[in-house]
Amino acid sequence: MSWPRSQLLEIGDQTWCPSWLHQHEQFSLTRLWNLKVPGWSRGSLATQACSVVEEHLQDLSSYTILDICAGAGGPTPVLESEINKKLESEGKKPVQFILSDLYPHHEEWSRISKKQQNVTYIENRVDARAAPRFAAKGMKECRIFNICFHHFADEDAAGILKNNIESADAFM
C-alpha cells in the first residue's frame, strides 16, 4: 500500500483516562453490539457475529472461546446464548466462553456470568500481547478480537498474532 498507516488515538487508551470513563466506553460499545434498528439491520451486530463463528469453526463443542479484549462483554453474551441454544437442541456440549481484558470490567462480567453459567471471566488484567492459554486440557482455544485490533501498534499486533499461533488453536 502506498499510503502510510495512520493510527488515531482513543481516549480509553490514554494513561490519564479515569476508569469510570473507560468502563463507560466499554459499556457503550456493548450496547451498540446489541442495537437493533428495525427496517435497517437484520438482527443486531451480535447476532450477525454468531453466524461468523458458526460458519468458521467446526465442532464448536470442542472449543473454549476466549474474548481477550472483552470490554463490557461486547457480543459474547449473545454468542453464548445463541450458539449454545443451537448446540443443546442438537444434543451437543455447550461452548465455554471466557472474558478477559487489560482493564477488566468486573461489575459487568460478574453480572453476565451470574446469568449465564457458560461465561466465566479472568479477574486479573490480561494483556493480549502475552496471554497464556486458558482452555482446559483437551479443549481447543479460539480467541476473539472484537473491534480491538486498532488499539495495537504494528509491532504489538504482530506479537499478538504470533502469541495466538503459538498458544491458541484459532482466532477471529
Ligand X SMILES: C[S@@+](CC[C@H](N)C(=O)[O-])C[C@H]1O[C@@H](n2cnc3c(N)ncnc32)[C@H](O)[C@@H]1O
Tell the residue number behind the cell numbers 494483556, with chain if given: 127
* Nearest residue (CB) to ligand X, 33 versus 121: 33
Q: In 3D, which of 93, 119, 95 has the Cα closest to residue 108?
A: 119
The nearest distance, CB 26 to ligand X, in angstroms, is: 5
- Residue range at the interface with ligand X (CB under 6 A); choices 24-32, 37-45, 55-63, 109-117: 24-32
Residues 6+ apart with CB under 8 A from 17: 11
Of positions 63, 74, 164, 168, contacts ligand X by CB under 6 A: 74
The nearest distance, CB 9 to ligand X, in angstroms, is: 13
C-beta of residue 120 within 8 angstroms of C-beta of residue 97: yes
- The phi and psi torsions of 150 (rounded to 5 degrees) equal -70, -10
Of positions 64, 113, 146, 164, contacts ligand X by CB under 6 A: 146
**Rounded Cα distance, 79 and 129, in Å:** 24
Q: Please report, as ranges, the residues that interact with ligand X according to CB under 6 A.
A: 26, 29-30, 33, 69-71, 74, 101-103, 127-129, 146-148, 151
